[in-house]
Amino acid sequence: MRFYYPATLGLALLLARPALAQVPASASPAAPQLGKASLKEVLAALTPEEKVRLVVGVGFYPAGFPPGLLPPGPPGGDKLPEKVPGAAGRTHAVPRLGIPSLTLSDGPAGVRIDPIRGKDSTKTYYATAFPVATLLASSWDTALVRRVGVAFGSEVRAYGIDVLLAPGMNIHRNPLGGRNFEYYSEDPVVAGHVAAALVRGVQSNGVGTSIKHFAANEQEFNRMQLNSKVSERALREVYLRGFRIAVQQAQPWTVMSSYNKINGTYTSESRDLLTTLLRGEWGFKGLVMTDWYGGHDAVAQLKAGNDLLEPGTLVQYEVVTAALQSGQLSTAQLDQNVTRVLELVLKSPAFKGYQPTSAPALKANAAVARQAAAESMVLLRNQGQALPLQAGQRLAVFGNAGYQLIAGGTGSGDVNKAYTISVAQGLTNTGYNVSSTLGQAYAQYLQAEKAKLPKQRGILDPVPVIPEMPLPAGQLPDYAQNSDVAVVALGRSAGEGGDRQVAGDFTLTAPERVLLRQVSGAFHGQGKKVVVVLNVGGVMEVASWRDQADAILLAWQPGQEGGNAVADVLSGQVNPSGKLATTFPIVYDDVPYGQNFPGKLLDASAKGGGLMGAPAENTYEEGIYVGYRYFNTFKVAPAYEFGYGLSYTTFGYGPLKLSSATFGGKLTATLTVTNTGKVPGKEVVQLYLSAPKGKLDKPASELRAFAKTGLLAPGQSQALTFSLSAADLASFDTAASAWVADAGTYTVQAGASSLAIKQRATFTVPRALVVEKSRPLLVPQQPLADLKAGQMAPVGR
Ligand code: BGC
């Protein structure tokens, strides 16, 4: 693994090291103390050198990295004892002023720290692997996500971490995004509300979060030099909207800027993004930190409002010091950055003297992880009521993923967990009679294949795929004879460091196709059912093979308790109530501009491709038409649409009542949902809005609110209320630099998915409303036309 080492900063290393006044390291009684004296007094007491240290992290010294591979940290950083081994980042302490060091740690599905410290393995430091973000969003249940956040945050606190580097909330723009599992949805309203719920839960423990990666970081390709070219409208309506919701609803303690540029400027160096928009327009009160080694020009970052440079390098320390001395960086600017660091310190457990227990409630939190997973899995198909399975049935579990659960993705989104429960194990735990002959064959095969795999060199190395075990065709009739149902588990892993491929990743591999064909042939031949469990972190092609399965459960990457949660759903102990927060297209070529993903090198002869890579760009040509906004507006049928998901029961939707037929600044929509089936269940109701034809081109409909019922017994009803504000009606008019709601008739639609609209109601807006004025921000270098419905021919079809 190589790390990008900014060229101009490298040059600065050649310059003479600027010398700043040395200061006593220990507390001096006369010096003002943080928390006791005012911030102004503390600032005045800080030396310039201490100020520079406070905005540049201590460096990164992960175990197992050969010396010299990572850029060196600021002077002395490598000597500071590490408080939480494996945590990704730290800030400098200034003990004489009572300023402690903060510890920052990944990641989005659980605390990522080293499970073993030094040679002593008598005590372990495992963390709970919660389900990945994409699964949590499929719950559409903010109360559930908040509970996950509370449990998650309790581990952050117990381990002595001050800020969790999560949640990730970029947009599922394309199914091949390698880090999509770390993110929630293709829709910013879902992403924003779910992220806000997680932030509130985590922060209720008195620890911080860092919503990331701000923004337009939807691919890994050349990520540190990639320019995301996006129209202002698409940025505002799709890529920034979720962050805005999370900021305004939950005030995360920090935001992490992303690696990429937006329209020519690194996000970490963009004052438009970090100051004018985030702080000015949205009212963010916290600190902004870089992504690890992100950006290019440390001084520009501080000036933009990126207060903390993580993990911190010697070069950054040198460059900022020199800029302070030359006046290129003003003391006033640095003081503002330092103030934000100090405000963060004041809130932290480290400052408050919390003594980490390193003993999180792993057992209780595993139960939370299991419940969240079971409540969020999406039942995609259930022909002839193949599910739920009957108690005590004989099951034959096929597929590597049936025996080796993929709990989550890789890279910084991975978690060092104590165990994982496989699908076969979970079904056994639930009382099913799972074929042990087949289990043994898989165990032997997987053990032999694992021994052949190359050794992982680092966390960004992709996990090598073990091909599906070839099944002797002659044995299948026996398995079918001796079992009631076949369960075929198919797995996918991806993560930081690369994007996914179409062949054999988005689509099935050849051995997977053979497996499905054989199992389905043998079992269906004997009148037995086939259930497919998808243990995946991202969207897959399902249309070409789904007919071979009676039922398909999308289990996502469900965290360490995944196998138990799958069994909860397959057995009917939990009635599935998850719905897709991201579209499943029929074929990859249906994804708008999918052929242009993940972007192109600016110099075709450059050796790019990797993380640090070479200068590259990716144009978000589809504009606002991301996910269902595209599929539903351009009438491209998906395999499973946004918002889709089945249940073991059925629901009736009563009439949709609006508080007024004319919009007067606010409106409520009410509707009653009834469980019309035979078993208890929960329903997610989605509220979409269609705008009248006006000056701007608009998607067919856009999600504006959602709610989930409680567990409704058969016959039981629940009234749900949604509210719509003027902002919910508005689109961003780039020419006017304003959010504008056109005059005319709006249609509110209550749906069981984006296509299964159950009830409609209309209201009018008598005169166009200018909801919010802004000014041109993050403007593309060359104009990017906003795409118009009907004008776009998707590439590849
Ligand atoms: C990732 C971040 C992560 C950071 C610290 C970066 O490579 O992009 O998401 O928080 O590393 O591990």
Is residue 505 part of the annotated active site? The answer reads no
Helix (H) or strand (E) segment spanning residue 52 = helix 48-55
Q: Residue 463 has what pLDDT?
A: 78
* Non-local CB neighbours of 780 within 8 Å, separated by 6+ positions: 229, 230, 231, 232, 263
Residue 795, pLDDT score: 53
Question: Residues lining ligand 1, judged by CB closer than 6 Å?
Answer: 88, 106, 165, 212, 291-292, 412, 496
Same domain (yes/no): 701, 566: no
The whole-number average pLDDT for the span 275-301 is: 98
Atom 3 of ligand 1, residue of closest alpha carbon: 412
From 412, 459, 461, 499, the mutation candidate for ligand 1 (largest count of ligand atoms within 8 A of CB) is 412
DSSP annotation of 606 reads S
- Residue 596 counted as domain residue: no
For 151, other C-beta atoms within 10 Å of its C-beta total 24
My answer on whether 337 and 406 are in the same domain is no
pLDDT at 516 (0 to 100): 97
Pocket test for ligand 1, best of 91, 106, 170, 257 (most atoms within 8 A of CB): 106
- Cα separations (Å) of 780 from 108, 233, 276, 550? 31, 11, 17, 48
Domain's final residue, options 579, 597, 615: 579
Q: Which of 579, 603, 625 is the last residue of a domain?
A: 579
Q: What is the domain-level CATH number for residue 421?
A: 3.40.50.1700
Domain CATH number, residue 656: 2.60.40.10
Q: How far is the CA of 413 from the centre of ligand 1 (A)?
A: 8
| Final residue in a domain of this structure, among 327, 347, 367 | 347
Q: What is the CATH number of the domain that holds 112?
A: 3.20.20.300
Cβ atoms 114, 134 nearer than 8 A: no
Residue 619 lies in a domain: no
Mind listing the pLDDT tens digit for each residue in 98-148?
A: 999 999 999 999 999 999 998 777 899 999 999 999 999 999 999 999 999
Question: Which of these is catalytic: 291, 590, 733, 742?
Answer: 291
Q: What residues contact residue 455 under an 8 Å CB cut-off, 6+ apart?
A: none
If one residue of 165, 259, 416 were mutated to test the ligand 1 pocket, choosing by the most ligand atoms within 8 A of its CB, it would be 165
- Residues paired with 750 in a beta bridge: 687, 759
77 is in which domain, residue-wise? 39-347
Q: How far is the CA of 311 from the centre of ligand 1 (A)?
A: 10
713-745 pLDDT, tens digit each:
999 999 999 999 999 999 999 999 999 999 999
Question: By mean pLDDT, which of 20-34, 163-177, 190-204, 237-251 is the weakest?
Answer: 20-34
Q: Which residues of 588-618 are buried (b: 16+ CB within 10 A; e: fewer)?
A: bebbbbbebbbbebeeeeeebebbbbbebbb
Is 281's pLDDT higher than 50?
yes
- Nearest residue (CA) to ligand 1, atom 4: 292
| Index of the ligand 1 atom closest to the CA of residue 413 | 9
Residue 248: CB atoms within 10 Å: 13
Q: How many domains does the chain have?
A: 3
If asked whether residues 695 and 553 sit together in one domain, one would say no
Provide DSSP, 763-785.
Answer: EEESS-EEEEE----S--SS--P
Name the residue with higher pLDDT: 168 or 121.
168
Among protein residues, the one with the nearest Cα to ligand 1's atom 7 is 292
pLDDT tens profile 173-200: 999 999 999 999 999 999 999 999 999 9
Look-up of token digits 């932030």: 199
Q: Is 258 found in the same domain as 162?
A: yes
Instruction: Check whether residue 384 and residue 489 sit in a common domain.
Output: yes
> Which DSSP category does 289 fall into?
E
Whole-number average pLDDT of the chain = 94
Distance from the alpha carbon of residue 559 to the mean position of ligand 1, in angstroms: 20
**Same domain for 475 and 523:** yes
Question: What is the pLDDT, as a whole number, of residue 590?
Answer: 97
Strand partners of residue 262: 228, 265
Give yes or no: residues 256 and 109 share one domain.
Answer: yes
C-alpha 62 to ligand 1 mean position (Å) = 13
Question: Which pLDDT tens digit goes with each residue over 569-590?
Answer: 999 999 999 999 999 999 999 9
Chain segment 407-430, per-residue pLDDT in tens: 999 999 999 999 999 999 999 999
Domain assignment present for residue 5? The answer is no
Q: DSSP strand E in 459-567: where?
A: 485-491, 529-535, 551-554
Instruction: Give the pLDDT of residue 789.
Output: 61
Q: Please tell me the distance between residue 258's alpha carbon and the centre of ligand 1 in angstroms.
A: 9
Residue nearest ligand 1's atom 11 by CA? 292
In Å, how far from its chain's centre is CA 569?
24
If you write DSSP's letter for every residue of 81-103 in order, what string do you get? PPSSTT-SEE---BGGGTBPPPE
- pLDDT, one tens digit per residue, over 357-369 is 999 999 999 999 9
CA pair distance 404, 551, nearest whole angstrom: 21
One domain, residues 343 and 388: no
Q: How far, in Å, from the CA of 49 to the mean position of ligand 1?
A: 27
Residues 712 and 765 in one domain: yes
